[in-house]
Amino acid sequence: MWQIVPGESVGPFEFGREPAEYFDILTGAFKKFRRFPNTAEIYAFSENRVHLKVDDQNRIIEISIFRPHELYLGDLQLLDQPLQELAIALNATNYLFESVDAGLESDQLGIVLVEVDDKIDGVEVRMLSA
């Protein structure tokens, strides 16, 4: 079970660290790729269902976790939850999430909940601006 601490960490992964610091946790091979030319590089640990996006200094700026992990924001388990039910539960908290093409997003928390087939398949958490 991993917890999101907005702007600081996702489970054991902390913003501002280098991916190599987590090679003991993230087992198996990884691939590096960019979604588009001239964008940030992403370390994809497929076996672990974790992506770490880095800046030009190879420091983590975004952490993505995919199901089947257990990932919590407060007391709410986010992954593998029905989108509409989770939206209702989130709206009952102090967290502000809005519907977006990908699923749900909180700009305030730097979190995007990615929906696939009406369930949350992945959670992207970005480093917050100072």
- Residue 123 near residue 65 (C-beta atoms within 8 A): yes
> What is the extent of the structural domain holding 49?
2-66
Does residue 86 share a domain with residue 58?
no
Is residue 62 located within the same domain as residue 85?
Answer: no
Does 87 lie in the same domain as 50? Answer: no
Q: What is the pLDDT of residues 57-77, one digit of tens each?
A: 999 999 999 999 999 999 999
pTM given for the model: 0.94
Q: In sequence order, what are the residues at sequence separation of 6 or more whose Cβ sits closer than 8 angstroms to the Cβ of residue 104?
A: 83, 86, 87, 90, 97, 98, 112, 113, 115
- Phi and psi angles of residue 85, each rounded to the nearest 5 degrees, phi first: -65, -40
Q: What's the pLDDT tens digit per position in 21-30?
A: 999 999 888 9
- Count how many domains the chain has: 2
Say whether pLDDT at 125 is over 80. yes
Alpha carbons 36 and 16: distance in angstroms, whole number = 22
**DSSP type of residue 89:** H
Residue 33 host element (H or E) = strand 31-33
Domain check: are 85 and 59 in the same one?
no
User: Cβ of 52: how many Cβ atoms within 10 Å?
Assistant: 26
In a domain, 74, yes or no: no
Distance (Å) of CA 68 to CA 36, 46, 55: 27, 12, 27
